[in-house]
Structures are given as C-alpha cells and as structure tokens.
Amino acid sequence: MAKLLDGKKISKDIKDELKSQIQDWVNEGHRVPSLQCIIVGNDPASHTYVRNKVLAAKYCGINAETIKFEDTITEEFLLNKIKELNEDDEVDGILIQLPVPDTMDERKICNAVSPFKDVDGFHIVNVGQLCLDMKTIVPATALGVIEMIKRSGIETHGRRAVVIGRSKNVGMPIAIMLHTDKKHESGLGMDATVTICHRYTPKEDLEFYCQNADIIVTATGIPSLVKANMVKPGATVIDVGITRITDAEGKTKLVGDVDYDEVVKVAGALTPVPGGVGPMTVAMLMHNTLQAAKNLSEQRIKIQ
C-alpha cells in the first residue's frame, strides 16, 4: 500500500514553522505581517476559501482582513481599491479571490496588484521570474505540490515526471519548477525530466507517459482519470484535482483525479483528496505573505 502524503500534517508543520518565524520577525521589531483578501460577489465556495485563508493567517500570526464587495462594482472601482492597497505601507499581501465577475478582465486585475504584494504569484512579472528560475512569489498550489515532494523526501533529480493539465496557475508552474536547474537564482534545482500532458494528449499517450513516470502530478478535475494500470509500482502520485460528485446513494463527496482505492495499492506514495494538496495551498499562501512582508521591508526592487 502507498505511503500517504498527509497534506494536513505537512501543512500544519509549515504553519507552525511560519508562526515561529513570524514571531521572530515581530520580535526583531517589524510590524505584524498583514494580508488583505478582496472578494467580489457572493459565490459560496469563494467565501469558504477566503474564510479558511483568514483562519490560517490568524493561526500563523498574520493580520488578515477580508474586504467584501458586491458584484455590481465596476472594474475601475476595484482597480482603484487595489492601487490604494498597493500604496499602503501597512499592507504586505494582497489577494484577489478568483473568479472576479465577468464584467472584469481577470488578467488586468491580477496585473494591478503590486508584484511585491502579489501573494498569489499571478502577476506577469512574478510569472516571468518563475519561468526564468528567479526568486519570486510562486502560485500557492504549485508551490504546495513542490514543498510536499521535498518534505516527503521524494527524489526528483534525473527522475521522470508527468504533469497532467497545463493550467497557468497550477500545471504550468509545477512543470517549470520540476525541471529547474540548481545553478539558477531560485536554487530549487529539481532536475526532473518533465512531460506535460493535457486534454489533447491521446488517451494511449497519457497512459504511456504515466506508466513510465516516477512522479505523476495530476491537475485536471476529471475524476478517476488516473487508474491503477497507468501507475508504475512504487511511483509517487500527487492529486491536485478536487471535484464534488454524487455517489450511488445520492451523497455528495469530494474526489480527486486519481482512482484512489485502486491506485493506493500500486503507488509508492499518494496524496488523499481531501487532505492532500488542498491544505498545502493555504499554508503556502501564508508562506507567500511572510515573503511579501520581507520583500517590502527589504525594499528589494528587481524591476527598474
């Protein structure tokens, strides 16, 4: 049976470390790190996500506040609010909970946040720095996957990795980080050989690449996409997918992309859903907030 990669446990460790680091940071005379979470509209899932982020922030000793707007506000109004927070020296991290209403240009909103305060790592400058293996703020879910691999002692150097899903917030940054060169500024140096699969990868090719992989990271939202016959015995399987389904008895439950009950018998290590990557995302967001606080404090200006 696969070793379970317990995201709850690992993320708890990370949050405890952050709590201690933030305590030290404040003891050194710095202000308590502050995170402002903007949420537009009344999507219940978005409100739950933001609530969990605020709770985690409080646990770590971050001063987190939620700013709620009706979905009737204009893009211009939101951009002005972001500008205000960018210019506020008391604010370290700014998070805009996605999705924003259809009346707004999501990319424009993401780029409006100062790259130094962009705890989601969605600003073009942060994406550019990530793809150049520079020090930057990395999207929290992608960073959570990498941190989980590192903390679980899973070897990546020279190993075969497959990333299923080419989304710009998850699949792409994971694929970039998995093949990083240690000589580059980020120092991450994971050095895996990486294959990026997506919706137009033929089914037999997906099977082929997965069957030959030491590490599979799947982020598609397709339940039971990764089956036991696609996993090499002993391989590591990281399941980023999370989908609410209704089972035969009419009960709803959360499932990942992996056919868990069967894959657990073959894989060497596997993340459960829920309780795998999910909690890592929130923990890494707190990591990013402390990093934003340090960035601002050091007034490090990379882009001139």
Return residues touching a second copy (CB under 8 A): 79, 107-108, 111-112, 123-134, 157-158, 160, 166, 168, 172, 175-176, 179, 181, 191, 193-198, 200-202, 205, 208-209, 212, 302-304
Report which of 243, 269, 241, 272 is spatially closest to residue 257, judged by C-alpha positions. 241
For residues 76 and 88, give the distance between their C-alpha atoms in angstroms, rounded to a whole number: 18
As measured in angstroms, the least distance from the Cβ of 32 to a second copy is 30
Contact 55, 35 (CB under 8 A): no
As measured in angstroms, the least distance from the Cβ of 206 to a second copy is 8
Which amino acid, residue 223?
Answer: P
For residues 152 and 154, give the distance between their C-alpha atoms in angstroms, rounded to a whole number: 6
Contact 81, 104 (CB under 8 A): no
Alpha carbon 254 to its chain's center: 18
- Please say which residue, 167 or 297, places its beta carbon nearer to a second copy: 167
Alpha carbon 209 to its chain's center: 24
Query: Would you please indicate which residues are annotated as catalytic (active-site) residues?
Result: 53, 97, 120
- Please say which residue, 51 or 107, places its beta carbon nearer to a second copy: 107
- Please say which residue, 144 or 173, places its beta carbon nearer to a second copy: 173
As measured in angstroms, the least distance from the Cβ of 234 to a second copy is 17
For residues 65 and 95, give the distance between their C-alpha atoms in angstroms, rounded to a whole number: 10
As measured in angstroms, the least distance from the Cβ of 132 to a second copy is 5
- Please say which residue, 192 or 290, places its beta carbon nearer to a second copy: 192
Contact 141, 121 (CB under 8 A): no
